[in-house]
Amino acid sequence: MTISRFRTTIYIVAAIVSLAGLADATYLTVQALTGETLGCGGSPDCFKVLGSSYARIAGIPVASFGVLAYFSVFTFATFAAFGYAHARIVLIPTIGAMFLATLWFLYVQAFLLHAYCRYCLFSAATTFLLTGLVIALPPGRDRSAS
Amino acid sequence: MKRYLPFVIVALVALATIGSGAMLYRAKRPHVLSIPGDKTLAGKSDAESAHIRGNPEAPVTLEEYGDFQCPPCGMFAAFLGQLEKEYDSRLRVVFRNFPLKAHEHAREAAIAAEAAGLQGRFWEMHDVLYREQDTWSKAPNVRELFESYAGTIGLDLDKFKKDMDGEQAKARVDTDRQRGESLGIQITPTLFINNQPVDQKDRNPEGIRAEINAALQQKPQA
């Protein structure tokens, strides 16, 4: 496999992984907007996390920022897979910011709330996977589609 | 064509996300009723009003005196959801608190529901308290759990905490209980259909349906 093809494969995998994160974040956003509680059924930890003050910023569910972030990653990864060099430039800092946000949310769950939410852990795993993928990207310039 | 393909893919995913989000939102949003979900039956004072759900003009009113920590009430709450779907606009449900002293956290749960009611989310809290009854009934710190439920259903947490400690929610619970006591209620759930008590032997799905059907025949919808 050539370096270029390997890079394209990584972008495609990142796009697919980001779809999983997008689905998770969309579900959590809808849950927060409707006040629906079935998704946490039987898990007091889930309620503690999703019902905490850390789950919203100025009344906006943090999951909605996740939707934007995962959709951005999907967009940039898709364009990067098609050879758009600029997409790669923005993909890496986007995932970097998500990685830092994930570290913060894990800290909040572990040390402030002492409770974990399965949806949040899934999102964390997705972001870690995306981080691993961009780290695995071979150095060098992408060919440009334009 | 390949040049436009990423735009097409991204647009399709955006549409799919918005579409599925909207569908999920429609499916999960609180059931839209003919009246706001937390409308109250008028009483002599605010504390004497009761929470009702359903069509205000419904020919049948099912009134429940319930205790959030009582397991039969929890089972009845699940059945009540079915009944509301089944009878739709022909049935309205009234809930009154009757926390039994034997249940350690029942009064606090009733206060939590009333505190949620002060923000217009009584029924959402009612539903989650019954659904999660097994969990919080055994919890050492129920207050923390009730606050997490309040946050999850979208309440203003600071106001909820204040209302939990305030007099208004407590007064509503006490008024309901006194009203129940004056009716001679001793157990929960105690049900009334169009102000007629449901007999102990009829407190099962078939019996309740039969009582509702009988009430419907006596008072057909206009």
The pLDDT tens digits of the residues spanning B104-141 come to 999 999 999 999 999 999 999 999 999 999 999 988 88
- A19 with B13: Cβ contact below 8 A: yes
Q: Please state, in angstroms and rounded to a whole number, the distance separating the CA atoms of residues A91 and A77.
A: 7
Tokens of B136: 């919080």
Right CATH number for A3-136 from 3.40.50.2000, 1.20.1440.130, 3.90.420.10, 3.80.10.10?
Answer: 1.20.1440.130
Q: Is the pLDDT of residue B31 over 60?
A: no
Residues of A in contact with B121 (CB under 8 A): 35
Distance from CA of B194 to the nearest CA of A (A): 31
Q: Indicate the residue type of B74.
A: G
Q: Indicate the residue type of A124.
A: A
Predicted confidence at residue B209, as pLDDT, reads 94
Q: How confident is the model at residue A141 (pLDDT cuts 50, 70, 90)?
A: low
Residues of A in contact with B17 (CB under 8 A): 22, 26, 67, 71
Query: What residue spans define the domains of chain A?
Result: 3-136
Taking CA–CA distances from B23, the nearest residue in chain A reads A30
Q: Please state, in angstroms and rounded to a whole number, the distance separating the CA atoms of residues B199 and B214.
A: 14
Predicted confidence at residue A140, as pLDDT, reads 67
- What lies within 8 Å, CB to CB, of B187 at 6+ separation is none
Count Cβ atoms below 10 Å from residue A15 Cβ, excluding itself.
24
A83: region left, alpha or beta (phi > 0 left; psi from -120 to 50 alpha): left
Q: Is the pLDDT of residue A136 over 60?
A: yes
Q: Is B9 at the interface with chain A, CB within 8 A?
A: yes
Q: Please state, in angstroms and rounded to a whole number, the distance separating the CA atoms of residues B192 and A83.
A: 70
Q: Is the pLDDT of residue B24 over 80?
A: yes
Residue B180: in which H helix or E strand, if any? helix B167-182
Average confidence score pLDDT of chain A? 91
Domain covering B33-218 assigned CATH 3.40.30.10 in the classification? yes
- What lies within 8 Å, CB to CB, of A4 at 6+ separation is A142, A143
Distance of CA A135 to the CA centre of its chain: 15
- What lies within 8 Å, CB to CB, of A79 at 6+ separation is A86, A87, B6, B10
Predicted confidence at residue B41, as pLDDT, reads 52
Predicted confidence at residue B180, as pLDDT, reads 93
Query: What is the share, in percent, of chain B residues with pLDDT greater than 90?
Result: 73
- B28 with A47: Cβ contact below 8 A: no
What sign has the CA pseudo-torsion B208, B213, B218, B222? positive
- A33 with B25: Cβ contact below 8 A: yes
Mean pLDDT of B213-218: 91
Mutate to test the interface with B, among A27, A30, A76 (most CBs of B within 10 A): A30
Mutate to test the interface with A, among B1, B129, B143, B148 (most CBs of A within 10 A): B148
Which pLDDT tens digit goes with each residue over A50-96? 999 999 998 899 999 999 999 999 999 999 999 898 998 999 999 99
Torsion angle, CA of A134/A138/A143/A145, rounded to 10 degrees? -20
Count Cβ atoms below 10 Å from residue B19 Cβ, excluding itself.
10
- B150 with A51: Cβ contact below 8 A: yes
With DSSP H G I counted as helix, E B as strand and the rest as coil, what are the percentages for chain A, rounded to 5? 75, 5, 20
Average confidence score pLDDT of chain B? 88
- What lies within 8 Å, CB to CB, of A134 at 6+ separation is A10, A14, A91, A92, A95
What ipTM was assigned to the predicted interfaces of this complex?
0.83
Q: Please state, in angstroms and rounded to a whole number, the distance separating the CA atoms of residues A141 and A86.
A: 10
Mean pLDDT of A101-124: 96
3 state SS of B73: helix
Predicted confidence at residue B199, as pLDDT, reads 87
